[in-house]
Amino acid sequence: MSWKAHENIEITKEVLKEWVNSYVNKDYYQWGIVVKQTNELIGSIGIVGNIENRLICEMGYCIEKNYWGNGYVVEAFNRIIEFLFTETNCNRIEAVHDVDNVNSGKVIIKCNLEFEGVLRDRGLNNDLKLIDLAMYFLLKRDYLRK
Ligand SMILES: CC(C)(COP(=O)(O)OP(=O)(O)OC[C@H]1O[C@@H](n2cnc3c(N)ncnc32)[C@H](O)[C@@H]1OP(=O)(O)O)[C@@H](O)C(=O)NCCC(=O)NCCS
């Protein structure tokens, strides 16, 4: 992640308040991920930054460790791909991960994004260390053709 884990629940509550307040902007795309059966909030997924007025959307996501390995992020990510390409003017979805964060790469591949290359020293992790980023993309026309 590019940011450190929240140190306490109050910080999380503040962040969530800020997100909810931002929903007045129609193109603010940040969602919570909940377990359907229990409605428990376990993580988040959304669009990072505002590239070319949302013609290009970069995905960012994380869930709590105890819930890893259940395919939750893939399920959420796939629904957002459908939303962005059928209900907004987004033309390109992209996602990057630290080359060492293999699990994140698996999520992206399972969502049928295509590997585009490795961007050397392109990112900073939450220890402010330079990292290589693997870049993936999916275009609207390719998605709609399938
Ligand atoms: C990366 C992350 C979002 C994956 O979400 P997820 O819902 O667990 O995704 P999946 O269930 O599809 O699992 C992805 C892969 O990770 C593997 N995995 C998940 N938890 C694991 C664990 N504890 N130990 C080993 N492998 C694990 C799964 O087996 C799966 O690999 P497979 O397809 O070969 O079986 C989640 O691990 C996470 O939130 N990590 C911390 C934040 C982060 O890295 N965000 C992305 C920044 S780019």
Domain boundaries, the chain: 9-145
Residue 2 has pLDDT above 90, yes or no: no
Tell the residue nearest (CA) to atom 2 of ligand 1: 104
Residue 21 has pLDDT above 90, yes or no: yes
The pTM (predicted TM-score) of the whole model is 0.93
Report the distance separating Cα 123 and Cα 82, nearest Å: 28
- Which atom, in ligand 1's list, is nearest to the CA of 95? 48
66 lines ligand 1 (CB under 6 A): no
86 pLDDT band (50/70/90 cuts)? very high
Contact 56, 90 (CB under 8 A): yes
Average pLDDT over residues 75-85: 98
Tell me the CATH number of domain 9-145, given options 3.30.530.20, 3.40.190.10, 3.40.630.30, 3.30.450.20. Answer: 3.40.630.30
136 lines ligand 1 (CB under 6 A): no
DSSP bridge pairs for 119: 133
Residue 93 has pLDDT above 90, yes or no: yes
Tell the residue nearest (CA) to atom 33 of ligand 1: 106
- Give pLDDT, residue 91: 97
Average pLDDT over residues 108-137: 97
Report the distance separating Cα 139 and Cα 113, nearest Å: 9
Average pLDDT over residues 90-112: 97
Average pLDDT for the chain: 95
Which segments of the chain are extended strands (E)? 30-34, 41-51, 56-63, 92-98, 114-124, 130-139
